[in-house]
Amino acid sequence: MPRSEESEEEDDDDDDDSTIVVHEDALIEIQKRLPVKSLCRFKCVSRRWRSLISSRSFIDSHFAHSETRPKLIVSFPARNPDGRSFLRLCLVDQSHPRNGRPQLVRRGLLVPDWSGYYCSPSVEGLVCLEVASGVNICNPSTGKQVTFELPHAAASSAHSQATHSFGFDPVKREHKVLSTVLRPESGHPIMESWVLTLGTNEWRPVEHCPPHHKKDGEFCFDGVLYYTAWNCSPVFVECSEIYLVAFHLSTESFRMIVTPARASKQALIKFEGHLAVVDCSSALSGAEVIMWILEDFDREIWKKRVFVLPPCWKKMVGDSYVSAVGMVRSGELLFAETQTVSASFFDLNAFYKVFYYDLKTNGFRRSEIHILPPPESFELPNRIPCMYFLLCQLRFSDHVESLLPLGN
C-alpha cells in the first residue's frame, strides 16, 4: 500500500528531532582532552556532566592527559590602588612559540595579601603561598583558593622564624603543608613543626624535628619533600652547614642529609629517578652545569655529574643573567632570566627569556614571555626598585592543569 505524503512528512520530522546518544566512555575520552576552564563551564550543562567531571577517577584521568601538555606558572607581584598586595599567577605553554613570536602572559589568578616571601612550586596542580593571615592554597587552573590560619604558637611568637613547604603524599593521595618555626629559648634554638592536610582545618604537631632553618628551594617527589636548610648549632645565631632536609609525608618524619654541594644558589630536581642538586652558579660562566645526584638515599651516597655546555650557550643567552629554576616534564633543565643585583630598577613591560636545556642531547631552545598590562583595577609600576624586585622576583614553575578541588 502506497504511503501518503503526510506520513512521509511525519517521518522527516522524526529524523530532524532525533538525538545522538554519546556513550559515557566516549564522553570521557572527549572531555579529558579539554582545558580546565572549559570543563568548569561544562559542569553547568547537566547533573550527569557535573557528576562525571567532579569524580576523582575523571580528575585523575584528565590530569594524566594534561601531563602531555605541561605549562609554566609565571608569578609576580601586583597591587590595587589602595596599596593591598597581590601575587599574580599566570599560565604559559611550554611548547615552541609559533613563528618565533613571544608568548603573551594574560590575566591570571590573583592571590590577595601575599607576604612577599614564600611561593611553592606547583605540586600536582596546586600552589601554596604565604599570605598575611596564614597560608593560601590555590589552583591556578580553576581559580579556586583557600586560606588557613597558622598554628597558634607560630602566629603569636614575635621572635620566631617561620617557614613553609608544600608536598603531595601519593600513598594517601593528599596534599600537605609543612610549617616550621625556629625560636630562641634561653640561648638555644627550639624547633617546632606542624602539618596540615588539605581537606582539613587542623594543624597537627610533628615530633622530633631537628633544629634547622630553611634556606631556599624545595622539591617533592615520591612522597618525600626536600629542601635545603642551615643546620642550627646550639647557639641560635649560628647557622653554618647546609643540609638537605627530607620530610616523609606519609610518616611525617624528618631526616637531615649532608650535601656535598656548596654553591650559594641551588636548584632541586629529579634526575633519572633520583633527587639531584644543581649548582646554579656554574652555568653563569657559560662552561658547565654541575649536578650532585643522591644515588643511594639510605647510605647517603652522592655522585657528581658535569654537563659541558655547547658553545652556542653563550651566544643564545647573551647578556642575560640566568639561573636554573628546575626541571620540566620533558626532562629539560629550565633556566630563567633574572635581575642582576647591580640593576637599579626592574622593567615589568620587557620581554623575559626562558631557556630549556636537554641534558641528553646537549641541545637548547629558547622562549620569550611578554607580560601584558594588569587589569584596570590593579596597578604595577613599569619600574620597580631592585631591592623590592629581589624580594618579589618573577618565579617560574613547571605546572600541569588539574581539576582537583580544595575541599574534601
CA-wise closest residue to 46 among 24, 69, 61: 24
Label residue 346 by pLDDT band (50, 70, 90): very low
The pLDDT > 90 percentage for the chain reads 34
pLDDT at position 172: 92
pLDDT at 383 over 50: no
The predicted structure's pLDDT at residue 344: 37
Cβ pair 212, 221 in contact under 8 A: no
Place of cell 582539613: 200
CATH architecture of 67-399: 6 Propeller (2.120)
| pLDDT score of 59 more than 70 | yes
Element (H, E) at 50: helix 47-54
Does pLDDT of 22 surpass 70?
no
Tell me the three state secondary structure of residue 282. Answer: helix
**140-145: which pairs have CB atoms within 8 A and are 24 or more residues apart?**
140/73, 140/89, 140/90, 140/91, 140/108, 140/109, 140/399, 141/36, 141/37, 141/91, 141/401, 141/402, 141/403, 142/36, 142/40, 142/402, 142/403, 142/405, 143/109, 144/405, 144/406, 145/109, 145/111, 145/406
Question: How many Å separate Cα 151 from the centre of its chain?
Answer: 24
Strands of 55-133 (E only): list them. Answer: 71-79, 85-93, 103-105, 109-112, 114-119, 127-131
Res 159: pLDDT: 67
Mean pLDDT in residue range 28-55: 90
Confidence at residue 242, expressed as pLDDT on a 0 to 100 scale: 81
* Mean pLDDT, residues 342-346 taken together: 39
pLDDT confidence band for 289 (50 / 70 / 90): confident
Per-residue DSSP letter, 265: S
User: How far apart, in Å, are the Cα atoms of 30 and each of 11, 39, 57, 142, 308?
Assistant: 32, 11, 15, 19, 44
Determine the average pLDDT of the residues in 96-104: 68
d(CA 270, CA 272): 7
pLDDT over threshold 90, residue 97: no
Reduced DSSP (H G I as helix, E B as strand, rest coil) percent helix, strand, coil of the chain, to 5: 20, 45, 35
The bridge status of strand 103-105 relative to strand 363-371 is: parallel
The closest of 256, 203, 249 to 225, measured between CA atoms, is 249
* Residue 287 clears pLDDT 70, i.e. is over it: yes
What is the residue whose three cell numbers read 626598585? 385
pLDDT in tens, 291-319: 999 999 999 999 999 998 888 888 888 77
**Backbone dihedral region for residue 286 (phi beyond 0: left; psi -120 to 50: alpha; all else: beta):** left
pLDDT at 365: 86
pLDDT of residue 145: 94
User: Which string of DSSP letters, residue by residue, matches 152-207?
Assistant: HHHHH-TT-EEEEEEEEETTTTEEEEEEEEEEEETTEEEEEEEEEEBTB--EEE-S
- pLDDT at position 229 over 50: yes
- How much is the pLDDT for 275? 94
Q: How confident is the model over 155-165, as pLDDT tens digits?
A: 555 667 789 99
Reading the block at residue 211, the C-alpha cell is: 633544629
Minimum mean pLDDT range among 42-51, 71-80, 121-130, 378-387 = 378-387
- SS3 call for 231: strand
Res 245: pLDDT: 94
Q: What is the pLDDT of residue 8?
A: 46
Residue 407: the pLDDT is 75
- pLDDT for 109-143, tens place per residue? 889 888 878 899 999 999 999 998 899 999 999 99
What would the grid cell of residue 164 be?
Answer: 613553609
Checking if the pLDDT of 107 tops 50, the result is yes
* C-alpha 323: how far from chain center: 17
Best CA proximity match to 198, nearest among 296, 97, 94, 126: 126
> What pLDDT does 255 receive?
93
Kindly report the average pLDDT of the chain as a whole number.
80
Distance CA 56, CA 226 (A): 27
Return the percentage of the chain with pLDDT > 70, whole number.
Answer: 76
- Domain limits, the chain: 25-66, 67-399
Tell me which H or E stretch contains 28. helix 24-31
Q: What is the C-alpha separation between 375 and 363, in angstroms, rounded?
A: 38
pLDDT of 23 reads 74
**Kind and range of the H or E element at 369?**
strand 363-371
The predicted model scores a pTM of 0.84
pLDDT band (50, 70, 90) for residue 7: very low
